[in-house]
Amino acid sequence: MDSAACSDIHVFNNIIGGAEFVGITGYTHECGEVTDVMFNNTAHSIEGKGVDVQTDPTSSTQTTCAEMSYSNSYKCTEQGAIFYKETKEIRVTNMVAVDNILGIAALLATGNSWTEVSLGSEVTISIEDNIIIGSTHVPNGDYEC
């Protein structure tokens, strides 16, 4: 996303179905806050990622902590939700991901780019209060594990 062209964006209460590549994309919000920056959106039957979220480049705090929450996805051919950007902490809360090939992905990097990752940096990924249900095809019946 081009930060110069994208500011003060609020994406909420949407249902997106049947799109290619990504169902919905937008920004994370400040950690610990509930906002309508990305809120109550559902992406389903997507040929790609359901929800694709990045840090808000206009935020002064999201290089330290960013949160994605309150979005839903189902039947996506890639991740139900994905976050990938530079921050020291990402929180994933109150998301629902059902029957997606890869569930939820939260990827972090530190440094000036993905190629300049500082391996000694401390980063935190927190995934709490989510519902994630897999997509493995298992026929009905009694099976021993």
pTM metric for this prediction: 0.78
Centre a 10 Å sphere on the Cβ of residue 25 and count the other Cβ atoms it contains: 16
Q: What pLDDT, on a 0 to 100 scale, did the predictor assign at position 65?
A: 92
What parts of the chain have a pLDDT lower than 50? Answer: 1, 114-115, 143, 145
Q: What pLDDT, on a 0 to 100 scale, did the predictor assign at position 118?
A: 54
Rounded to 5°, angle at Cα 58 from 52 and 61 = 90
Q: What pLDDT, on a 0 to 100 scale, did the predictor assign at position 87?
A: 84
